[in-house]
């Protein structure tokens, strides 16, 4: 789903996952404490080129609160 040079940045800008394996590991970490579903809605694509796109998204996490 992600390119080799993809980056996922947290909403506060403090966490960056680079590349598909790091992004997968980030999701695995989020699901460990009981997260069961992530829903993401892309609001904007302010920058898009033939080989890159930046998206601004909102997401909702659901699961058990531990």
Q: How many CA atoms lie within 13 A of 46 on its CB side?
A: 3
Q: What pLDDT sits at residue 65?
A: 62
Question: Distance from first CA to last CA of the chain, Å, rounded?
Answer: 30
The predicted-structure confidence for 6-55, as pLDDT tens digits, reads as follows 888 777 778 788 888 888 888 888 777 777 777 878 888 777 677 777 77
For the whole model, what pTM was predicted? Answer: 0.53
Domain boundaries of the chain, sorted by first residue: 7-63
DSSP 14: -
Predicted confidence band at 58 (pLDDT cuts at 50, 70, 90)? confident
The first and second tokens of residue 35, run together, are: 């997260």
- Rounded CA separation 22/57 (Å): 19
pLDDT at 59 over 80: no
Q: In the 8-state DSSP scheme, what is residue 13?
A: S
């Amino acid at each position: 789903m992600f390119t080799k040079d993809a980056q996922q940045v947290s909403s506060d800008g403090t966490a960056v996952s680079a590349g598909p394996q790091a992004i997968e590991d980030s999701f695995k970490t989020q699901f460990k404490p009981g997260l069961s579903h992530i829903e993401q809605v892309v609001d904007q694509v302010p920058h898009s080129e033939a080989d890159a796109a930046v998206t601004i998204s909102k997401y909702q996490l659901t699961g058990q609160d531990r």
